[in-house]
């Protein structure tokens, strides 16, 4: 909590900008940040006490400004548990964006597709998640200033925000899948047997982020929505070995569609 407040103070020395919506951009999806009319850009490394990402291809900065008319804070690059951070570190940025004033959180990620007939490049609206394969970010003394000890998780992803994303996809003529995202620790990709397990458990997509951020944000009472870009078919479904290169490339290829959808949806979310 002290670190969150320290980071908040450092940002407040730079800007008094108050975002309505916070956006987390996943691997290869950082392009959207270029559409933001910036009020302030803050590299993670400039913030004392902030966890800085070590993955090549993951940038690390906050862009605060306007996406069309909406005041947003965009995280271009996130930190992951597999880098060796604690879960408290992993969710610190989301908590910080909440403290900056963001009431809504739009989470995005690159994910492996498990659902029947899924294809590389598909977009999946996250309807629910499975986070219990990774440590819960709320373990430890409860921060009463943020939220209650035993927060309800029966509706993590906000129905009204999901509806906005559906209607944006329809307007833009983008096929949108829906499903359950399952978070694993990584950094190794899954085995085919693990993917069969994930499927049996009801997962439609698998990745190494997002669910814990959603848990921490829900704890704080933020309204959450999430979108996965299916960058590859999951292990055993895909006929080729998985690689980070493939994931990044798919992000670039589907970037325009992804960006158009997020941009359109963020504008519409001002109304709900």
**What residues are annotated to the active site?**
27, 58, 80, 82-83, 110, 208-209, 232, 244
Cβ nearer to ligand HPA, comparing 29 with 110: 110
SS3 116: coil
Consecutive H or E run containing 104? strand 104-113
Give 56's Cβ-side CA count (13 Å radius).
2
Q: Mark the segment that binds ligand HPA (CB under 6 A) among 2-10, 61-69, 123-131, 202-210.
A: 202-210
Tell whether residue 208 is a contact of ligand HPA (CB under 6 A): yes
Class of residue 10 by CB neighbours under 10 A (exposed 0-12, middle 13-18, buried 19+): middle
Q: Which of 39, 206, 225, 262 binds ligand HPA (CB under 6 A)?
A: 206
224, exposed or middle or buried, with CB in 10 Å at 0-12, 13-18, 19+?
Answer: buried
Helix axes 159-171, 255-269, angle to 10 degrees: 130
Q: What is the DSSP string of 243-258?
A: -HHHHHHHHHHTHHHH
Least spacing, CB of residue 247 vs ligand HPA, in Å: 5
> Residue 242 or residue 260: which is nearer to ligand HPA going by CB?
242
Closest CA to 230 of 83, 154, 123: 123
Residue 232 sits in the site that holds ligand HPA (CB under 6 A): yes
CA-nearest of 188, 204, 210 to 237 is 204
- The helix (run of H) or strand (run of E) holding residue 126 is strand 123-130
Using left for φ > 0, alpha for ψ between -120 and 50, and beta otherwise, residue 94 falls in: alpha
Shortest distance in whole angstroms from residue 63 CB to ligand HPA: 23
CA-atom Rg of the chain in angstroms: 17
Distance in Å, CB of 243 to ligand HPA, minimum: 10
Closest approach of ligand HPA to the CB of residue 123, in Å: 14
**Residue 13 or 240 with smaller CB distance to ligand HPA:** 240
**Residue 195 CB, nearest approach to ligand HPA (Å):** 8
Taken in order 26, 28, 31, 33, is the CA torsion positive or negative?
Answer: positive
Closest to ligand HPA by CB, 155 or 191? 191
Q: Binder to ligand HPA among 107, 126, 224, 234 (CB under 6 A)?
A: 234
Q: Which of 122, 128, 158, 190 binds ligand HPA (CB under 6 A)?
A: 190
Residues 79-118: x where in contact with ligand HPA by CB under 6 A, - otherwise, as a string = -------------------------------xxx------
172 binds ligand HPA (CB under 6 A): no
Residue 242 within binding range of ligand HPA, rule CB under 6 A:
yes
- Residues of this chain that bind ligand HPA (CB under 6 A): 110-112, 189-190, 206-208, 231-232, 234, 242, 247
């Amino acid at each position: 909590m002290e670190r969150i407040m320290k980071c908040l103070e450092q940002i407040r020395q730079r800007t008094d900008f108050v975002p309505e919506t916070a956006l987390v951009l996943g691997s290869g999806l950082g392009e959207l940040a270029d559409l933001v009319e910036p009020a302030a850009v803050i590299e993670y490394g400039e913030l004392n006490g902030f966890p800085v990402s070590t993955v090549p291809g993951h940038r690390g900065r906050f862009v605060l400004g306007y996406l069309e008319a909406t005041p947003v804070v965009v995280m271009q690059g996130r930190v992951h548990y597999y880098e060796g951070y604690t879960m408290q570190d992993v969710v610190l940025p989301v908590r910080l964006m909440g403290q900056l004033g963001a009431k809504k959180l739009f989470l995005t990620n690159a994910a492996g597709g498990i659902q029947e007939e899924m294809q590389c490049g598909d977009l999946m609206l996250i309807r629910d998640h499975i986070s219990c394969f990774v440590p819960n970010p709320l373990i430890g003394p409860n921060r009463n200033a943020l939220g209650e000890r035993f927060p309800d998780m029966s509706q993590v992803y906000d129905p009204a925000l999901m509806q906005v994303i559906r209607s944006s996809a329809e307007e833009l003529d983008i096929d949108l899948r829906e499903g359950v995202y399952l978070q694993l620790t990584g950094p190794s990709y899954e085995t085919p047997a693990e993917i069969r397990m994930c499927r049996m458990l009801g997962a439609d997509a698998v990745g190494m982020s997002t669910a814990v951020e959603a848990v921490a944000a829900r704890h704080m009472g933020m309204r959450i929505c999430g979108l996965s870009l299916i960058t590859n078919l999951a292990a055993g479904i895909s006929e080729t070995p998985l690689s980070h290169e493939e994931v990044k490339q798919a992000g670039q290829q589907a970037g325009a569609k992804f960006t158009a959808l997020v941009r359109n949806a963020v504008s519409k979310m001002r109304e709900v």
